[in-house]
Amino acid sequence: MLPYILSLLCLLLHTQGATTTPIHPITRQTCQSTGHCPPGTLIVSRTPNHKNTTHPTLQSAINSLPNDNTPQTILLLAGSYIEQVNITRPGPLTLLGETSNPRDASRNRVRITWAAANSDSTGAVDNVFSSVLVVAPTLEASLTGSGPTGYPVPADTPFGNTDFRVYNVDFENTWAEYSDGPAHALSLSRANGGFYYCGFYSYQDTVYIGKLGNAYFYQSILAGQTDFLYGFGTAWIQSSALQLRGCGGGITAWKGTNTTTPNKYGVYIVDSSVRAANASVATDIQGACALGRPWNSQHRSIFACCYEDGSVDPRGYVDWVVGGVGRFEEGVTLMAEYRDFGPGVNVTGRVEGGVTSVLGLGGWEAYNTPLKVFGDVEWVDWGVVRGTD
């Protein structure tokens, strides 16, 4: 189970926004556990004619939806789906995974897998093509690009999905069992996405939150080895488990750019755990995994109220040195911790490393709620976060 230490929670509920739920929570859990779903729900199954199946693949169900602002729901029946999924529609979309354990991501029964990595180092092929799931309005909006500012997305590109929600689905990039080039499980740009009790599994660059991407993760599992949380956008990871499948680069590698809206882009990992994926990996990576490294000098990440096991590098974060030049810039780069605990927290190591900021309440206050970092949080399922459903 995910460690969840109540007395140390950083989460502040009283400052959060309104509850909006495209599908009622009771209806949702009934649909997930029995297949009895609201009229209009599309049902995807690998077994044709099973229960009220309407589509054999998730992408065929998505392609059948109108490209408008109507709320839509898709139930995936238990099973492994081998496909790449691409969501461009603007209207609210909820994906439900069939499960009888809707509050436990480690027992998910729906898996979407794809095996691909980007082996190109010339910049001709983009990382997005490796992704299991892509959420973005256009191809250009989803491109990672290269260089300090990444792909120059045209300013007139529309916003993509305003309210995308996924419950109890695992996304796994099965390309290799070690870092072998960027291999996304998720790529989300110019869109709002909430992921509840989901799993994201890969080794390198598992989760990419691109330009103008806003992603909220709750009680989810995010597994990887190298730079496995990266991007330009904004991600809040609440009460989740980061699983270290090895070490490389850092856990986080963020870029800031001036094309990002004035929200507080960055990655915020809150009330979560950072642990070796299993006991055999734990012995190999003792003290070896950095919390992050700056993809450019405007990197911003904070681990707040997190448990860290002994896999974490005593220095915490590290610099990213290219051609003898470090990207860390004092006063610009923010690679921070606030009230973390566990054997991975080494105060003298952090000081000696010289790039980790240990925040006090004042430093954390500017970022301490999803509302402060996203600006708008209507698309987050607060019923789930409050535990009232």
- Could you list the residues that contact ligand NAG (CB under 6 A)? 35-36, 51-52, 86, 88, 128-129, 134, 138-139, 142, 148-149, 177, 245, 257-258, 277-278, 280-281, 298, 314, 346, 348-349, 352
Instruction: Please name the residue that has the structure tokens 């040195």.
Output: 321
Q: How near is the Cβ of 22 to ligand NAG at its closest, in Å?
A: 19
Give the residue nearest to ligand NAG (CB): 349
Token couple for 58? 């998730």
Residues pairing with 114 in the sheet: 173
Token couple for 247? 């070490």
Query: For ligand NAG, which is the closer residue by CB, 210 or 292?
Result: 210
Is 203 within 8 Å of 224 (Cβ atoms)? yes
Q: How near is the Cβ of 369 to ligand NAG at its closest, in Å?
A: 26
Dihedral-angle region of residue 384 (phi above 0 means left; psi in -120 to 50 means alpha; beta otherwise): alpha
Q: How near is the Cβ of 352 to ligand NAG at its closest, in Å?
A: 5
Cα–Cα nearest to 166, from 287, 22, 263? 22
Q: How far apart are CA 198 and CA 185, in angstroms?
A: 11
Q: How near is the Cβ of 81 to ligand NAG at its closest, in Å?
A: 17
Query: For ligand NAG, which is the closer residue by CB, 129 or 364?
Result: 129
Query: For ligand NAG, which is the closer residue by CB, 11 or 332?
Result: 332
Q: How near is the Cβ of 279 to ligand NAG at its closest, in Å?
A: 7
Q: How near is the Cβ of 264 to ligand NAG at its closest, in Å?
A: 15
Query: For ligand NAG, which is the closer residue by CB, 250 or 370?
Result: 250
H or E element, residue 61: helix 58-63
Query: For ligand NAG, which is the closer residue by CB, 242 or 385?
Result: 242
Question: In sequence order, what are the residues at sequence separation of 6 or more whose Cβ sits closer than 8 angstroms to the Cβ of residue 362?
Answer: none
Cα–Cα nearest to 168, from 51, 41, 29? 29
Query: For ligand NAG, which is the closer residue by CB, 11 or 176?
Result: 176
Query: For ligand NAG, which is the closer residue by CB, 67 or 80?
Result: 67
- For 242, how many CA atoms within 13 A lie in the half-sphere containing its CB? 34
Cα–Cα nearest to 187, from 237, 220, 148, 138? 138
Q: How near is the Cβ of 15 to ligand NAG at its closest, in Å?
A: 29
